[in-house]
Structure 1
Amino acid sequence: MSTRFSTTTRATPTGLVLALVGELDSSTAPKAQEAIRQLTLRTGDQLVVDLSGLEFCDSSGIAALIAARSLAGRAGATIALAAVPRHLSKVLGLLGLADLFGTHPTAEHAQEPATEH
């Protein structure tokens, strides 16, 4: 079990970015859950969960991501994952959870307005 984990939150014009850094496992998931509970989202906001610094994520971490999605939904906000590590992307796909989250290559990209092609 790991203790190397931190969260940071920053406001953006489109909502909030929650960065999860380190190893998200059963020993650190309570810290992630607490950070999620403290988020204040409004209708129309977008919560971007920045995973660029995430080194490991087990089932407890996936539960935290689902909790973040639930919080966003209750607030009338949307959620997107940014910089999803390859191993986590594969696990989300195997579990049938990939469609629950929009994904973007970076947190900055997630905040850009959608463009039509």
Structure 2
Amino acid sequence: MSHPTDFTTALHGTTAGPIVQAVGELDLDAATTLHAALRRALAVDLSAVVLVIDLAGVTFCDFCGLGALLRARIETERSGVTFHLARPTHAVARLLEITGADHVLVVERHDDAVPHPHAL
């Protein structure tokens, strides 16, 4: 049985690159799940120009989760892929603002920030 705080990811493709849809609490335990999803996304679409993490389903993010997002940015950009966060919930957006991470990460708050996905 799943616990309400479980963290899950789903991978979707777009013409620009993959979208990782994140749901649940992004904390220390979830950081490895997010990292694995990002590596899988980059491996599946080698022609990706942009990688988007859709945070609309993330209900909580602590400093370990924030660290995972910052590390993801570094790793994707090393691969030549632009990294975006899309549709952060209020709790996540607030953490990004308080820490100044919203000045380092590309954060798109509007619903059309997530391109229409297709199957990978």
**TM-score interval for Structure 1 and Structure 2 normalised by the shorter chain:** 0.7 to 0.9
Cα offset for 1:27? 2.0
Q: Does 1:5 align with 2:7?
A: yes
- TM-score normalized with structure 1 length: 0.81
TM-score computed with the length of structure 2 as normaliser: 0.79
**Which residue does 1:38 correspond to in 2?**
40
**Distance in structure 1 (CA, Å) of the matches to 2:75 and 2:98:** 24
Compute the displacement of 1:110 (Å).
4.2
The equivalent residue for 2:62 is 58
Aligned pair count reads: 110
2:30 corresponding residue in structure 1: 28
- Whether the 8 Å CA contact 1:10–1:17 is kept in 2: the answer is yes
C-alpha contact 1:46 1:78 (8 A) present in aligned 2: yes
What RMSD over aligned residues (CA atoms) do the two structures have, in Å? 2.1
* Partner Cα separation in structure 1 for residue 79 and residue 65 of structure 2: 21
Return 86-95 or 75-84, whichever deviates more. Answer: 86-95
In 2, Cα distance between the equivalents of 1:111 and 1:74? 23
Classify the secondary structure of the residue corresponding to 1:28: helix
Inter-partner Cα distance in structure 2 for 1:3 and 1:30: 15
Specify which structure has the bigger relative contact order, considering alpha-carbon pairs within 8 angstroms and separated by 6 or more residues: 2
Q: Name stretches of at least 5 consecutive residues in structure 2 with no aligned partner.
A: none
Q: Supply the AA of the counterpart residue of 1:33.
A: H
2: CA distance, partners of 1:102 / 1:26 = 22
Structure 1 unmatched runs, 5+: 113-117
> Which of residues 74, 77, 80 in structure 1 aligns to 2:81?
77
